């Protein structure tokens, strides 16, 4: 069964450094998302991406963050100048909206990248 993949599974970085989190969404999906989850808390929406541009972003997704689809398969989240409070699990997701009857409520999540900022 197709699945969303993410690399790396765990990233440790120092405060102020830049990190790039990588995702490969399911191949025939059209919408892509990034969420984050601080340990023990709820999943928080960061950004959605469609047709090579951002379609929605949250107040968390400030100038420190950017997303890119550099080729036909990868979807990346870049965090510039990381802060301690950026430590969280980052999930990539994709949804098959556009295929028969589907909506963006049915999202398929990757296994996540645990980001630790020291």
Partner 1 sequence: GQSLEQPSEVTAVEGAIVQINCTYQTSGFYGLSWYQQHDGGAPTFLSYNALDGLEETGRFSSFLSRSDSYGYLLLQELQMKDSASYFCAVSETGFQKLVFGTGTRLLVSP
Residues of this chain that bind partner 1 (CB under 8 A): 31, 33, 41-45, 48, 50, 55-56, 58, 91, 97, 103-112
- How far is the C-alpha of 34 from the C-alpha of 20, rounded, in Å? 13
- Of 48 and 82, nearer to partner 1 (C-beta) is 48
Residue 23 burial (CB count, 10 A): 26
Distance in Å, CB of 93 to partner 1, minimum = 8
Distance in Å, CB of 16 to partner 1, minimum = 28
- How far is the C-alpha of 54 from the C-alpha of 94, rounded, in Å? 14
Contact indicator for 75, 25 with CB cutoff of 8 Å: yes
- Of 10 and 80, nearer to partner 1 (C-beta) is 10
């Amino acid at each position: 069964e197709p699945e969303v993949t993410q690399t790396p599974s765990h990233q440790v970085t120092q405060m102020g450094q830049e990190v790039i989190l990588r995702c490969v969404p399911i191949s025939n999906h059209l919408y892509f998302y990034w969420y984050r989850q601080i340990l023990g808390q709820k999943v928080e929406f960061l950004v959605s991406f469609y047709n090579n541009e951002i379609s929605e972003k949250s107040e968390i997704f400030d100038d420190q963050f950017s997303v890119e689809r550099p080729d036909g398969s990868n979807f990346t989240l870049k965090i510039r100048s990381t802060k301690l409070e950026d430590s969280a699990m980052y999930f990539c997701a994709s949804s098959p909206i556009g295929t028969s009857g589907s909506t963006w409520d049915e999202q398929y999540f990757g296994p996540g990248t645990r980001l630790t900022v020291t």
